[in-house]
Chain A
């Protein structure tokens, strides 16, 4: 079994995101998107059971590759990454097109994602990748039981449902059900010698195109960002007053 798991490098979430002409300004040092840790954990649990090979796939500014290293430190075997000026500010379709091509290069049977990235949050890339690869899509997986066969529990609007994981498929994993592992010192040192291969854009079949023209970014006024009060025992009156103001009650 070969598994490709997506690891997106994002700016440190503790620092406010900044933009230039509608594009996120990405520092050289970016970190692993926390959402992807859940997908990586699922990949590693499958690796342990089925002796699978886990390849991290990633697209975007590489910089110091700190985020890629964090994914490898968790236990992935190697990484296939791509960075190209023409991919800057890619829409979700371009992103999924590129990641699908990289998953093909990894010869992946199973492709795993978080549900949505923390900086782009389009929330459709796993579904698009499944379409490009013509594979079943098991989205919003919130639980995994690995025995002789693997059962995935996916969230639905009415509750949840269980499916047997097909031998080839795309999975998106929510922040639940698995607890991402923390690498120890040995894992951190071992990751340094793992292969990080850069894919050249000329080697992939990119057909998706940009379909957005940036106009502007407008800040939302502070009245939506919240207020802070210390409860003196009468806070419920304030809550009711505020809810009445916005006609919620």
Chain B
């Protein structure tokens, strides 16, 4: 099975989600081509063990449709039949575009897959993580969108051995008027093994200092419900649920700070919940 990984850069190197895909495909013993998408200048994303093409975006143009054109052409010309993307903003955009070009519906929320000759079966997370949905994928090209943390990322020695393709805008590109880079400190929601999640039960924004302290000690990311994000207690990037961002920590400590039951349940996160009489009276989830 000829494989293609749609990867991304992060902070000048390969994103953790991309590394997870490389690890899995390597374990399966498949040859693969890597396409890494990003706007970093000279990222360290090359390797002597696999071929990487860096598709460099112009930050001033929203041009992922143009990237998708390039990728679809490669898939067709090189007869690739397995395409993997991470369940990120970029990964889902590209997988969606490419799936139409290939007439191959992508399989979303994949947490594992098995290859047996030309056959491929997937395990998909459904019902907020409470069940696994097992399915055979029958299209000639199989496009899988993998949930983060589904596979353990292995260490890869990276260098500057890769080719760069500059992405030109096309008729579907949209000019970007303004870019806002959010200052981020500490572990991020999408990468962290632990998320400390807060809700209205914190009673007052001042009380967030307690979870910051706890998060620092546990090297955890801090998440919040829509209610407290709307209230301006946390930036939107820290909202858990209904944001398009897929968060899959190994553990979430919730309820301590009392997010509502529905949010933590639908966020499909394995949780340990502690209700604190000190911090508020909202129900523990």
Question: A residues touching B (Cβ–Cβ < 8 Å)?
Answer: 13, 16-17, 22, 35, 91-94, 96, 115-116, 118, 121-128, 130-132, 134-140, 142, 151, 154-164, 166, 169, 172, 174-176, 207-220, 223-231, 233, 235-236, 238-240, 242-243, 246-249
Question: B274 — which chain A residues lie within 8 A by C-beta?
Answer: 229-231, 235, 238-239
Contact check: which of B99, B264, B272 meets A227 at CB < 8 Å?
Answer: B272
Question: B88 — which chain A residues lie within 8 A by C-beta?
Answer: 157
- Given A176-B229, A227-B273, A219 contacting B131 (CB threshold 8 A): yes
Closest 3 CB pairs of A and B: A127-B96, A175-B242, A93-B105
Alpha-carbon separation in the docked complex, A124 to B90 (Å): 11
Decide if B133 touches A22 in the complex (CB within 8 Å).
Answer: yes
Decide if B272 touches A213 in the complex (CB within 8 Å).
Answer: no
Alpha-carbon separation in the docked complex, A134 to B219 (Å): 44
Decide if B96 touches A17 in the complex (CB within 8 Å).
Answer: no
Decide if B89 touches A156 in the complex (CB within 8 Å).
Answer: yes
- Given A140-B89, A164-B175, A174-B243, A214 contacting B135 (CB threshold 8 A): yes
Decide if A155 touches B89 in the complex (CB within 8 Å).
Answer: yes
- Given A157-B89, A207-B103, A213-B138, A163 contacting B133 (CB threshold 8 A): no
Question: B107 — which chain A residues lie within 8 A by C-beta?
Answer: 212
Nearest opposing residue in chain B for A179, CB measure: B230
24 A-B interface contacts by CB (under 8 A): A16-B127, A22-B133, A93-B103, A115-B243, A122-B109, A123-B108, A130-B172, A131-B96, A155-B243, A164-B174, A174-B243, A176-B243, A208-B105, A210-B138, A211-B138, A211-B139, A212-B107, A215-B121, A219-B130, A220-B130, A230-B277, A239-B274, A243-B194, A247-B250
Decide if A136 touches B218 in the complex (CB within 8 Å).
Answer: no
Q: Does B52 have its Cβ within 8 Å of any Cβ on chain A?
A: no
Min C-beta distance of B228 to chain A, whole Å: 12
Question: B277 — which chain A residues lie within 8 A by C-beta?
Answer: 230-231
Decide if A208 touches B103 in the complex (CB within 8 Å).
Answer: yes
Task: Name the residue in B65, B92, B218 with the highest tally of chain A Cβ atoms < 10 Å from its Cβ.
Answer: B92
Alpha-carbon separation in the docked complex, A156 to B266 (Å): 23
Alpha-carbon separation in the docked complex, A187 to B277 (Å): 43
Decide if A226 touches B62 in the complex (CB within 8 Å).
Answer: no
Decide if B65 touches A130 in the complex (CB within 8 Å).
Answer: yes
Min C-beta distance of B10 to chain A, whole Å: 7
Nearest opposing residue in chain A for B121, CB measure: A215
Min C-beta distance of A167 to chain B, whole Å: 11
Decide if A235 touches B270 in the complex (CB within 8 Å).
Answer: no
Question: B176 — which chain A residues lie within 8 A by C-beta?
Answer: 161-163
- Interface of chain A, helix or strand or loop or mixed? mixed
Q: Does B256 have its Cβ within 8 Å of any Cβ on chain A?
A: yes
Contact check: which of A96, A123, A208, A217 meets B134 at CB < 8 Å?
Answer: A217
Min C-beta distance of B131 to chain A, whole Å: 5
Decide if A175 touches B243 in the complex (CB within 8 Å).
Answer: yes
Interface string of B219-245 (1 = CB under 8 A from A): 100000010011000001101011111
Interface string of B102-124 (1 = CB under 8 A from A): 01111111000000000001000
Alpha-carbon separation in the docked complex, A124 to B91 (Å): 10
Min C-beta distance of B43 to chain A, whole Å: 14
Question: A162 — which chain B residues lie within 8 A by C-beta?
Answer: 176-180
Nearest opposing residue in chain B for A126, CB measure: B96
Min C-beta distance of B248 to chain A, whole Å: 11
Decide if B132 touches A217 in the complex (CB within 8 Å).
Answer: yes
Decide if A218 touches B175 in the complex (CB within 8 Å).
Answer: no
Min C-beta distance of A212 to chain B, whole Å: 5
Decide if A138 touches B273 in the complex (CB within 8 Å).
Answer: no
Decide if A228 touches B275 in the complex (CB within 8 Å).
Answer: yes
Q: Does B205 have its Cβ within 8 Å of any Cβ on chain A?
A: no
- Given A159-B181, A175-B243, A217-B126, A235 contacting B106 (CB threshold 8 A): no
Question: A118 — which chain B residues lie within 8 A by C-beta?
Answer: 266
Q: Restricting to B166-188, which residues have a CB under 8 Å from any CB of A?
A: 172-182
Decide if A212 touches B89 in the complex (CB within 8 Å).
Answer: no
Alpha-carbon separation in the docked complex, A151 to B176 (Å): 10
Min C-beta distance of A120 to chain B, whole Å: 8
Min C-beta distance of A227 to chain B, whole Å: 6
Alpha-carbon separation in the docked complex, A155 to B90 (Å): 11
- Given A131-B100, A235-B256, A160 contacting B182 (CB threshold 8 A): yes
Alpha-carbon separation in the docked complex, A116 to B242 (Å): 8
Decide if A175 touches B241 in the complex (CB within 8 Å).
Answer: yes
